[in-house]
Structure 1
Amino acid sequence: MAITIPIVREGATPPRRLPSGAGASRLTALPPLSLYLHVPWCVRKCPYCDFNSHAAPAGPLPEAAYLEALRGDIEQALPLIWGRQVMSVFIGGGTPSLLSAATIDTIMGMLRAHFNLIPDAEVTLEANPGTAEADRFKAYAASGINRLSLGIQTFDDVRLKTLGRIHDAAQARAAIEMAQQAVARVNLDIMFALPGQTLETCTQDVREALSFGTEHLSLYHLTMEPNTVFAKYPPAALPDDDDGAAMQDAVADLAESAGLQRYEVSAYARPGARSRHNMNYWTFGDYLGLGPGAHGKLSFHDRIIRQARVKQPDSWMAGVAAGDGRHIGEDLEVQTDALPFEFMLNALRLRDGVPTPLFETHTGLSVAQIAHQLEAGVKRGLMSPDPGRLQTTPLGWQFLNDTQALFL
């Protein structure tokens, strides 16, 4: 049986658990810091999507109002991360490629003016093939975007319509070529276990994606997420669990045989092409979330907090304008007893796990505090016995939910 992969679209903030218990840890050093910027609008909402996306209003997007609010959000957040370097940026959504080249240029100017971006910071923008334009992609690159993430999902026109996508297969192919001409680094999102999909058509999608020589693939099993149209009205002809598992094994074999290493549950990369932004998520790094609905995790020497902005774009804009923090919908301290699970929920998604000392430096806890969970995992064959790494065995990665649950 293979891992059941939830939709965790590239760049989306990783799984988390609300804090509980009492007491906080102490950190001797702060982890790397990333930025996540959320653009909330789409041409229309896809029926499988549970991200904070909203159908674009009639007429032009309120880009000027969005920029003004984003500037205010940045300025009010700066005291939390003052002086820290930023190693990566992800502009996600929604559909960021709906924004004009001038707006992206303004955003990049804001980031350079307010944050200490490292010289070779990875800066990714998420794009929908249905909104792709060659000149706009090139302008994005001129502004400082150096990586594009394309939501292809499938090259099957029938399946694209079922998924509610606004592009067709021809537009997907054209968007890949436009992206590759604009930037050196491109990720393709591909879904499998789609309504009416067979193993043959599933593998054809992956073969076609690989034919472009892309450096990075994100391969997701379609799941019926709560509070989505598909959850309420499930599509017909969904592959059963056995067929979905067979597809998952087949796409993994195809990607790896083409030279892409599966380094995370749903991420495959050529050597040197791993997503630095996502690696920071999985290694329990920090990230400041800006924009409506954006989530963040920030460390201080005496505590770790999680924040979430309010979801509705108008409410977020009004809250930022008020200047009193009301645009922050959640601001919670992660307590000591929640930290082991929070850390492992992310780190164990990595095939190679993480060095054991990372647990101590990024949580402020001693690894001795999880010794009995590690011992139980080793005895059950789920965790590696190597004291130098926190890593699943192949069995533990296959049954990842059970392995993560050891640390609850």
Structure 2
Amino acid sequence: MPPLSLYVHIPWCIKKCPYCDFNSHAKKAELPESAYIDALLNDLTADLERYAITRPIQSIFIGGGTPSLFSPESLDRLIAGIDRRTALDKDIEITLEANPGTFESTKFKEFKALGINRLSIGVQSFNDGLLTKLGRVHSGQEAVKAAEIAHHAGFTHFNLDLMFGLPGAIPGDSEKDVATAIALKPAHISFYQLTLEPNTLFHKYPPKLPDDDFIFATQKHCQGLLADNGYRQYEISAYSQPGKECRHNVNYWQFGDYLGIGAGAHGKITEALPNQITRTFKPKSPELYLQNPSQNGSRLAIAIHDLPIEFIMNQLRLRRGFTLAHYQSMTGLPASTLQPALSDCQTQGLITLENGYYACTDKGWDFLDTVLGKFIA
């Protein structure tokens, strides 16, 4: 069986950002913390029984929304409840997403004491003007303060999220953001382009974005800046110091398994290869989720002919790529099911084979949609 992770979704935010397509809802009243923790634990219990889970959980990612809005007491009850219900790896990675506007020194020391050992801080930019255009509720100075609080609270492993290609950006803006982030000494930096996703305010009323040449030049320059300062790009938008990769996300990209609990959470569970690899979906509405989390979701088995693209679209995000042996062990399919697409990509210089690993070339990463299209059944 593949490695197993757990994703926990807490859907409330202070404010819904205009570019955000995640299942998040602006906080309008006091949050139902106790009832929601009950629902999460009931949801987990049902999934553990439904899929007869005996594997230990190697990582937990508490995302949202803004899960740092919840109190340490509520998250303590959540983590303790998970621990009582299933086995956890001794060196488990537990990540909590947090936004700079919710940082309090005492609160984050308490989070650290609960066993949360990694933070992912949604900075996006340190530029107040760009943050206003993004609809963020924090300032650049609050973002800097959040990283300082993370260090002070004892987090040796935290991520700073940065976006580029922002409305109103001028040459040098992203370079300043990246330089500021590097100076704050996080173990991990996410650096990704703003996209106008369906069902967002920005998609309905598109802001004017920089042109493609500007965006591409910004990306390449900042990637060089990150590399020069010891942040290795191990995935399309993820850069880390040596040994500080996000283990939870790497499991996603390596086609590992993960339980998803919480309103709008997705999961992937392998019951039998190749015909019982199942995607799971929990109801998006927090109100519906609170009514009956274990009954209101849905499941869908991945069709065998879709497994090659499902595997490839995750695995080729990683700089290292994949081996055919890993493909066979994760899907139960013979290596021949990736041909002739692999050969075609190699001929076009989009994929390379080195030491048994198939991986995208720089050209392949720049044209990843073209690469993935070749593997669609």
TM-score by length of 1: 0.89
Question: What one-letter code is carried by the residue in structure 1 that aligns with 2:48?
Answer: L
Alignment of 1:331-346 (within 5 A): 331-346=299-314
Post-superposition CA distance 1:99-141 (Å, at most 9, x none): 0010111111011111211010100000010011111111011
Task: Give the CA deviation at 1:301.
Answer: 2.3
Partner of 2:300: helix, strand, or coil? strand
Q: Residue 41 of structure 1 contacts residue 95 of structure 1 at CA under 8 Å; is this kept in 2?
A: yes
Which one of 5, 8, 18 corresponds to residue 47 of structure 1? Answer: 18
Q: State whether structure 2 residue 284 is matched by structure 1 residue 311.
A: yes
CA distance in 2, matches of 1:270, 1:349: 18
Question: What one-letter code is carried by the residue in structure 1 that aligns with 2:26?
Answer: A
Q: Residue 89 of structure 1 contacts residue 277 of structure 1 at CA under 8 Å; is this kept in 2?
A: yes
Evaluate the alpha carbon distance shift between residue 195 and residue 81 of structure 1 in structure 2; reply closer, same or farther with a 3 A threshold: farther
Task: Give the CA deviation at 1:387.
Answer: 7.4
State the match for 2:104 in structure 1.
133
CA distance in 2, matches of 1:336, 1:301: 12
Post-superposition CA distance 1:236-263 (Å, at most 9, x none): 4x21111111111111111111011111
Question: What one-letter code is carried by the residue in structure 1 that aligns with 2:280?
Answer: Q
State the match for 1:73 in structure 2.
43
4+ runs deviating over 3 angstroms: none
Which one of 241, 247, 251 corresponds to residue 280 of structure 1? Answer: 251
Question: What one-letter code is carried by the residue in structure 2 that aligns with 1:311?
Answer: K
Which is bigger in relative contact order (C-alpha 8 A, separation at least 6)?
A: 1
Which one of 210, 213, 216 corresponds to residue 242 of structure 1? Answer: 213
Partner of 1:272: helix, strand, or coil? coil
Q: State whether structure 2 residue 326 is matched by structure 1 residue 380.
A: no
CA distance in 1, matches of 2:99, 2:156: 18
Partner of 1:194: helix, strand, or coil? coil
Which one of 153, 161, 174 corresponds to residue 202 of structure 1? Answer: 174
Partner of 1:354: helix, strand, or coil? coil
Post-superposition CA distance 1:288-340 (Å, at most 9, x none): 000000000000124100001010000011123xxxx4321x30001110000
Question: What one-letter code is carried by the residue in structure 1 that aligns with 2:150?
Answer: A
Question: What one-letter code is carried by the residue in structure 1 that aligns with 2:278?
Answer: I
Partner of 2:343: helix, strand, or coil? helix
Question: What one-letter code is carried by the residue in structure 1 that aligns with 2:296?
Answer: H
Question: What one-letter code is carried by the residue in structure 1 that aligns with 2:185?
Answer: G
Partner of 1:332: helix, strand, or coil? strand
Alignment of 1:215-294 (within 5 A): 215-236=187-208, 238-294=209-265
Post-superposition CA distance 1:172-205 (Å, at most 9, x none): 1111111122211110000111111112111000
State the match for 2:334 in structure 1.
366
CA distance in 2, matches of 1:140, 1:102: 9
Alignment of 1:319-330 (within 5 A): 319-320=292-293, 325-328=294-297, 330=298
Task: Give the CA deviation at 1:351.
Answer: 1.2
CA distance in 1, matches of 2:130, 2:319: 30
CA distance in 1, matches of 2:26, 2:80: 27
State the match for 1:19 in structure 2.
none
State the match for 2:79 in structure 1.
108
Q: Residue 199 of structure 1 contacts residue 246 of structure 1 at CA under 8 Å; is this kept in 2?
A: no
State the match for 1:350 in structure 2.
318
CA distance in 2, matches of 1:387, 1:375: 16
Q: Residue 351 of structure 1 contacts residue 397 of structure 1 at CA under 8 Å; is this kept in 2?
A: no
Task: Give the CA deviation at 1:386.
Answer: 4.1
Question: What one-letter code is carried by the residue in structure 2 that aligns with 1:61?
Answer: L
Q: CA RMSD in A?
A: 1.1
CA distance in 2, matches of 1:368, 1:162: 49
Which blocks of at least 5 consecutive residues in structure 1 are unaligned? Answer: 1-29
CA distance in 1, matches of 2:243, 2:221: 24
State the match for 2:158 in structure 1.
186
Q: Residue 8 of structure 2 contacts residue 63 of structure 2 at CA under 8 Å; is this kept in 1?
A: yes
How many corresponding residue pairs?
372
State the match for 2:268 in structure 1.
297
Question: What one-letter code is carried by the residue in structure 2 that aligns with 1:326?
Answer: Q
* Identical-pair percentage: 45
Q: Residue 10 of structure 2 contacts residue 65 of structure 2 at CA under 8 Å; is this kept in 1?
A: yes
Task: Give the CA deviation at 1:147.
Answer: 0.2
Q: Residue 317 of structure 1 contacts residue 327 of structure 1 at CA under 8 Å; is this kept in 2?
A: no
Evaluate the alpha carbon distance shift between residue 270 and residue 81 of structure 1 in structure 2; reply closer, same or farther with a 3 A threshold: farther
TM-score by length of 2: 0.97
Q: Residue 85 of structure 1 contacts residue 117 of structure 1 at CA under 8 Å; is this kept in 2?
A: yes
Question: What one-letter code is carried by the residue in structure 2 that aligns with 1:370?
Answer: L
Q: Residue 89 of structure 1 contacts residue 124 of structure 1 at CA under 8 Å; is this kept in 2?
A: yes
CA distance in 2, matches of 1:156, 1:184: 25
Evaluate the alpha carbon distance shift between residue 81 and residue 137 of structure 1 in structure 2; reply closer, same or farther with a 3 A threshold: farther
